[in-house]
């Protein structure tokens, strides 16, 4: 198909406009509003005790959810692609649930299962373990919503590389574990890396599911997204700047994660 120069240019213009209007402009506005009263004010807002606590809680939740979902995701991808057992079709569908179920429903579901009157809630309450309206519930919610990313990045790579290299390793005497670390993992590592980036981004940014199961107490159960949400709904002098500052902080963390991963590895097409 031949496209005239004019058509090419206008298509490019539309694409750029679309990206600008939907992605860049809001970010630019947030950055602009953050620093409208100067860098010092913005810095003060992100270093309040509540903001610092929110930062560390966000990092901690991601630091638990991401490794767990990475291990689980790689394992699931291996079962889905290399497994021979029954029930793989069911697993395949279940893994997509976090993509299709609204995060608020995820939060409510956790409430129903682990809440005071929930299925397991009683047992945990009796043993003095608090899950709902506390950090464990927030971790569970984050794990749930960020679960499928590693599987969905790794499974296609596993299909593409095929299993001949793994069979060759087996005939050369390698155990399943040795084959995984020496042959399979090096082949899928970029898929894993992209899965980790997406999982991290989702874990850092999740609000809907976490909001439902958090007690939303500043300084103890607020993550950065929750802090942004709370500050933006407060009335009072400067709190909107506080919301923007926290939002910028969150955006910067996510961008750093993305940049680090991009700098570490080749582009998606290469291998």
| Cβ atoms of 203 and 148 closer than 8 Å | no
The Cα angle at residue 258 between residues 63 and 48, in degrees rounded to 5? 60
- Helices 49-82 and 224-233 pack at an angle, to 10 degrees, of 130
Helices (H), 35-147: 39-46, 49-82, 88-95, 97-100, 103-114, 121-126, 135-145
Judged by the rule CB under 8 A, the positions of this chain that interact with other proteins are: 161, 164-165, 167-175, 178, 182-183, 186-187, 271
Tell me whether residue 67 or residue 186 sits nearer to other proteins (CB atom): 186
Task: Tell the smallest beta-carbon distance from residue 161 to other proteins (Å).
Answer: 8
Task: Tell the smallest beta-carbon distance from residue 132 to other proteins (Å).
Answer: 46
| Cβ atoms of 66 and 142 closer than 8 Å | no
Task: Tell the smallest beta-carbon distance from residue 189 to other proteins (Å).
Answer: 9
Mention every residue, 6+ apart, whose C-beta is less than 8 A from residue 99.
148
Tell me whether residue 49 or residue 173 sits nearer to other proteins (CB atom): 173
Tell me whether residue 10 or residue 271 sits nearer to other proteins (CB atom): 271
Q: How far apart are CA 235 and CA 72, in angstroms?
A: 43
Tell me whether residue 161 or residue 258 sits nearer to other proteins (CB atom): 161
Q: How far apart are CA 180 and CA 157, in angstroms?
A: 14
Tell me whether residue 133 or residue 190 sits nearer to other proteins (CB atom): 190
In this structure, how many other beta carbons lie within 10 angstroms of the beta carbon of residue 242? 25
Task: Tell the smallest beta-carbon distance from residue 188 to other proteins (Å).
Answer: 11
Task: Tell the smallest beta-carbon distance from residue 149 to other proteins (Å).
Answer: 24
- Residue recorded with tokens 């406009």: 17
The Cα angle at residue 84 between residues 79 and 90, in degrees rounded to 5? 60
Q: What is the Cα 185 distance to its own chain's centre? A: 22
Tell me whether residue 81 or residue 147 sits nearer to other proteins (CB atom): 81
Task: Tell the smallest beta-carbon distance from residue 193 to other proteins (Å).
Answer: 14
Task: Tell the smallest beta-carbon distance from residue 179 to other proteins (Å).
Answer: 9
Tell me whether residue 143 or residue 183 sits nearer to other proteins (CB atom): 183
């Amino acid at each position: 198909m031949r496209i005239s120069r004019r058509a090419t240019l206008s298509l490019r213009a539309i694409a750029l406009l679309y990206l600008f209007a939907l992605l860049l402009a809001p970010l630019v506005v947030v950055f602009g509003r953050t620093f409208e009263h100067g860098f010092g004010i913005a810095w003060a807002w992100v270093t309040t005790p509540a903001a610092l606590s929110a930062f560390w809680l966000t990092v901690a939740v991601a630091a638990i959810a991401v490794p767990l979902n990475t291990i689980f995701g790689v394992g699931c991808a291996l079962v889905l692609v290399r497994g021979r057992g029954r029930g793989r079709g069911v697993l395949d569908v279940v893994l997509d649930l976090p993509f299709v179920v609204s995060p608020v429903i995820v939060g409510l579901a956790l409430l129903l299962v682990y809440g005071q009157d929930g299925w397991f809630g009683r047992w945990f309450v009796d043993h003095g373990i608090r899950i709902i309206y506390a950090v464990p519930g927030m971790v569970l919610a984050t794990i749930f919503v960020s679960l499928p990313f590693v599987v969905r990045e790794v499974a296609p790579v596993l299909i593409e590389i095929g299993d001949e290299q793994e069979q060759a390793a087996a005939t050369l005497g390698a155990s399943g574990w040795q084959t995984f670390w020496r042959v399979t993992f090096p082949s899928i590592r970029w898929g894993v890396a992209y899965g980790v980036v997406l999982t991290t981004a989702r874990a850092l940014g999740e609000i809907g599911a976490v909001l439902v199961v958090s007690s939303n107490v500043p300084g103890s159960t607020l993550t950065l997204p929750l802090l942004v949400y709370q500050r933006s709904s407060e009335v009072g002098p400067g709190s909107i700047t506080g919301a923007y500052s926290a939002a910028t902080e969150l955006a910067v963390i996510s961008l750093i994660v993305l940049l680090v991963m991009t700098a570490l590895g080749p582009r998606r097409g290469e291998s």
